Structure 1
């Protein structure tokens, strides 16, 4: 009498007599780049009739014996396998368990068609999910939709438009670049809906980007309901697939080198406002001598619009989006005191500039330094403290707030990092970092950090709800509901 099939939801570490009936959706080699591209394992995504996904792995010493027996898209019965807890990073699917083949594992291919097991299955991520996984390598990410493509090289960039009308760049590396067929776009009208699996999320100059891995697979206009829905949405739109051409780097202009409208600190403070000049860009060469942490070094921002979220009736609220944000993360707002030979003043740094000179995102630092909430309000992460004493060429965006009312909180729109040679003081290396004007205007002058905030009894200045990372805030709110504080007796 044959064994009944076990579903993937039914397997466990304690159950050793399971018999699976699954389809191999995707298969790839896990490679150790640091060790001469040595094979680590042969890996797969399996799916059963219930649509449950699981990651299966075959160690390199057994990979060659199993490889000829396995093909993507085919259905197999699998017995005598190990089940272990999935603790590692770069997980291609959401499943707390993982299947591991051993020398006694039996694999038998089932011939014929079986439509009860899905031929494809994905865990799609929206823009908010992508942003929340920035530099978090626990799970790999799958996204869909393509609008433009890059040239076929060892590295290929693809600019993609997500359903939220958010654009994101995906970088394909190595053999993954060959999965894009240029002729397909030349001979077909489109629109072209691209599914990209198993990517990692990074941030460059404040913009989220995706990068391929050895597990990445690309599917163009796959015949599934999710793709059909998006194709119908864009069929009536005139969308052209075009090359992302390499750009020639122009010779730096005076403005880019910070020589345009250059001012000393004293000159900036003495600038006079007139009705014809409401906004002004100037550059200033100054040294960071201190960090004012009175209002903290970050705020919690809506991932969609980057505006600071507020706490309203126990929930986070984005005034710009007029809703409760699905995701919110810490974003830099660092108030630094700078000085040159003429005096000192205050500059405000935001994400894009701050990330480049600190080399970590505000989200990373906030998560790394959860203990900061147990300390006093003057605590600044050591990664941020390292910028004290460094000299930079700042580009500043001045407006009525500065020019008309004389406020000295000057918004930094661009940072030109200067490394001065001790042997030749006039030789320097300049690297440009910038915040877009649109985001700066949203974050600076109407930001309530300018006013003295009200601190509730029992809270330190760094524990204000609007600056606590979303996950921590939700955890605290849940704990407060489960363990309500007892009223003190008089």
Structure 2
């Protein structure tokens, strides 16, 4: 007889031998600020068929094992995991607990239990205009900011809910489908002229450098007369003190 699945909202640390049926909504690697190439673990947001969500954490030593199994948008039956407090100053979800994956945690891919591949949970529009969200709720608003590495942007994706929304909106007079697509802007490379580069600069000849009695930053614009092959494709350089000595000599 197949074991009954537990809803994510009912998960409790005191429960034994719990199995859950979930969809993997998003995956991201946790890391220290400014060190994206040094992850300390993997984090996942899971959502069950009732729309309940919970965050799951995977330690570094088990990260590669579960990265090979988990895919965003796929559904899984998960068991043999731990449950701990959802601590932290800025929790991603308002669930009291988090799931911790162990080395022996079982993750079995199953068929999709619904068509909500992205795991969206839609809020009434008036909640946005009135800002009726708790301090620990994570939502997408008009302004976008990174939320503990878990923010994800969808640009012109063919998401069924979005396609249906744009279809309803475009049925209004004066609205067209192209009005609801984000244009990807790729700026052209600008070539700066010599006049633009030296705009506002004070032009001096090389010989006048030694007449300066104070330190300052300078840009030298010159023509390379000779390349020393033994130094590779470079020309011999020196610091300003050596250069001034050369001029005096």
Give the match for residue 120 of structure 2.
122
Question: Deviation digits for residues 262-299 of structure 1, max 9, x if unmatched?
Answer: xxxxxxxxxxxxxxxxxxxxxxxxxxxxxxxxxxxxxx
Give 3-state SS (helix, strand or coil) of 2:28's partner. Answer: strand
Matched, 1:228 2:164: yes
Structure 1 segments unaligned to the other structure (5+ residues): 144-167, 169-208, 247-490
* Mapped contact 2:145–2:151 kept (Cα < 8 A): no
The alignment's TM-score, normalised by the length of structure 2, stands at: 0.58
2:100 corresponding residue in structure 1:
100
Bigger strand fraction: 1
Structure 2 unpaired stretches of 5+:
189-249
What does residue 210 of structure 1 align with? 144
State TM-score, norm by structure 1. Answer: 0.32
The structural deviation recorded for 1:37 is 4.2
- Structure 1 residues 21 and 139: CA distance shift in structure 2, 3 A: same
On the 8 A contact 2:73/2:119 being kept in 1, the answer is no
RMSD of equivalent CA atoms:
3.2
| Number of equivalent positions | 176
Cα offset for 1:226?
6.1
Measure the CA separation in 2 of the matches of 1:36 and 1:74: 25
Q: Distance in 1 between matches of 2:158 and 2:82?
A: 33
Structure 1 residue 224: Cα displacement: 3.9
**Maintained 8 Å contact 2:78/2:106:** yes
Shift in Å, 1:42: 1.0
Deviation at 1:210, TM superposition (A): 2.6
1:78 aligns with 2:12: no
Where relative contact order (Cα < 8 A, 6+ residues apart) is larger, the structure is 2
Structure number with bigger Rg:
2
Counterparts in 2 of 1:340-359, with a 5 A limit? none
Which residue of structure 2 aligns with residue 369 of structure 1?
none
Instruction: Indicate how the Cα distance of structure 1 residues 48 and 118 shifts in structure 2: closer, same or farther if over 3 A, else same.
Output: farther
1:312-359: CA deviation from partner (whole Å, max 9, x where unpaired): xxxxxxxxxxxxxxxxxxxxxxxxxxxxxxxxxxxxxxxxxxxxxxxx
Query: Following TM superposition, by how much is the alpha carbon of 1:34 offset from its aligned partner in structure 2, in angstroms?
Result: 4.2
Following superposition, the deviation at residue 14 of structure 1 comes to: 0.7
- Are 1:21 and 2:21 counterparts? yes
- Determine helix, strand or coil for the equivalent of 2:11: coil
